[in-house]
Chain A
């Protein structure tokens, strides 16, 4: 179920509005400019998404996830390689520390950062499509690829995969946002995009 060019551009635009809002919230929190962009959006199968994540040289990850439900359901996940997550926490919260030293305190900070980014993406979708979602509170986990939720579950799930570039204090940090959708949820999302495009006179 690949995206056509119009659908991909529309999603790219919507998510960039979302991450842009998230960036201004994060900037306000740290009183420093935080830039966020989502340069690439694609729809892939679960295994391919895992491959993209594994493409990074490290296979230890920090994930923040929230389950959204509404006209379509999505399990959203912000994924950073562990070292990048540590870098974000260090830049936003304080001094350098190792994973073992990372206390609840910093994990909660990571959880909040994920919450801001994921909520911003989903509310951007909701605004544009005039729909509403409900969501669970965010959950933060450290883990390797073997216990990334993306690797198990329904074979039929599709993944909407966004690359995210975060810039804090001149440091560029890369990660991904994943939306796991069932096939019916994916086609509901595509219907919403098409309706939006035709309302814009674009399709």
Chain B
């Protein structure tokens, strides 16, 4: 719609510009402000009379030497448009949503477009358009925080802080696939606390929870930071994924963990030993192309069952290849 058409229905273009929810500044080739709208006077706290006709850099000294000055140069002298993103400039101009924000110098987050305008004298002129991005940016921040929280809660066991079963399943599948592709060994350990249900009955669930956290922290200590994954597999069962470890290494580590749990010296009146112990089932495989994670998991389970069967507080290795057991501890 042209100005004349607006005029024919009795609407003044100036009042339209005043009603816009973005800031408008029109500059002439001398960088003088030839017009600004109401949005701008309100957010800058300046009267229109203190702005109109004055040089941009007197009204907004903060713009002097800034990227806005270059953008104005591009628009007036080269006739090229520019965009100033909130990520890189944010609070370039001293504009505020409320007088309270001004007192605390909390500037609004801005997105600025600077585009050339054609003027009659062909001296060059430009339009500076400022949008308030404050709400968008705080929403982005909030969303990012929520994403972070969600990511943590969907992959972490809330009690012990180690990975949860979902994360365990994901990592096991991807490490299994990696071992398959690169023809590498993959070790898996299942650590089960002996007579833990009786511990819970005897001392109460609260003490049981504290105990699980302590055990998880002790186990986490020996995990290699890259590649390994310790997870809470079920109530009192932890699982440890160990890519690239062979039988000798993984059994030595399992034995180390078994001793570690024992030496924590957590009393368990419900156990024959008088303290809390762990049984550990271990397996290693170099997965063939047609193998799946089920074989690995059930081998570790079989080994754990055997360790329980042999009297608990021990490490048993099971080989899915030849069906043999080897006990340690």
Contacts and interface: CB of A to CB of B under 8 A. Distances in A.
Contacts of A126: 78
B315 interface: no
Interface stretch (A102-110, A153-161, A178-186): A102-110
Interface string A119-145: 100110011000011111110000000
B211 interface: no
Interface string B108-142: 00010101100000000000000000001100100
Contact of B70 (A25, A30, A109, A138): A25
Interface residues of B, number: 25
Contacts of B147: 101
Contacts of A101: 144, 147
A129 B140 CA distance: 44
A90 B197 CA distance: 49
A93 B67 CA distance: 16
Interface residues of A, number: 30
A122 B84 CA distance: 18
Given A101-B147, A104-B140, A119 B82 contact: yes
B83 A111 contact: yes
A29 interface: yes
A38 interface: no
A25 B88 contact: no
Judged by DSSP, the binding face of A is helix
A28 interface: yes
B87 interface: yes
Given A28-B67, A123-B74, A134-B116, A105 B79 contact: no
Judged by DSSP, the binding face of B is mixed
A162 to B, nearest CB: 18
B140 A133 contact: no
B78 A105 contact: no
B86 A105 contact: yes
Interface in B137-159: 137, 140, 143-144, 147
Contacts of A138: 83
A108 B82 CA distance: 12
A115 B144 contact: no
Interface in A72-125: 92-93, 101, 103-106, 108-109, 111-113, 115-116, 119, 122-123
A134 B79 contact: yes
**Most central of B85, B115, B143 by chain A CB within 10 Å:** B85
A113 B111 CA distance: 14
A164 to B, nearest CB: 19
6 contacts: A112-B85, A119-B80, A133-B79, A135-B80, A135-B81, A137-B81
Interface of B: 67, 70, 74, 78-89, 111, 113, 115-116, 136-137, 140, 143-144, 147
Given A105-B140, A106-B87, A133-B79, 16 more contacts: A104-B136, A105-B87, A105-B136, A105-B137, A108-B111, A109-B87, A111-B83, A111-B85, A115-B81, A116-B82, A119-B80, A123-B78, A127-B78, A134-B80, A137-B83, A138-B83
